[in-house]
């Protein structure tokens, strides 16, 4: 989750707000504390939460995790 904090801060979104977005838009439960642990790489998100985060920030999962520098492979 190397880029989660970077993407979140770029959009000026707090951990609490991101937690609410995940709950309301994706029906995912991830507390602000849990999201902070993802950012610090203390915990790994479940696949469904990881995919929701990538979708919300409009990036490929590979970019979010830091495996690629390309945000979207199929960007137009």
Mean pLDDT of the chain: 92
54: Cα separation from own chain's centroid: 5
Domain boundaries defined on the chain: 4-65
Residue-wise pLDDT tens digits, 37-50: 999 999 989 999 99
Residues 6+ apart with CB under 8 A from 57: 7, 8, 11, 64
Q: For position 55, what pLDDT does the model report?
A: 95
Domain 4-65 fold: 434 Repressor (Amino-terminal Domain) (1.10.260)
Quote the Cα angle for 15-21-26, to 5°: 130
* Mean pLDDT (whole number) for 52-62: 94
Inform me whether the pLDDT recorded for 66 exceeds 60.
yes
Between CA 57 and CA 35 the distance in angstroms is 14
């Amino acid at each position: 989750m190397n880029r989660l904090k970077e993407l979140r801060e770029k959009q000026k979104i707090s951990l609490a707000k991101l937690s609410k977005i995940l709950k309301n838009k994706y029906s995912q439960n991830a507390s602000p504390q849990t999201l902070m642990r993802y950012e610090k790489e203390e915990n790994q998100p479940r696949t469904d939460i990881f995919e929701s985060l990538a979708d919300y920030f409009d990036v490929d999962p590979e970019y979010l995790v830091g495996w690629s520098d390309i945000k979207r492979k199929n960007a137009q």
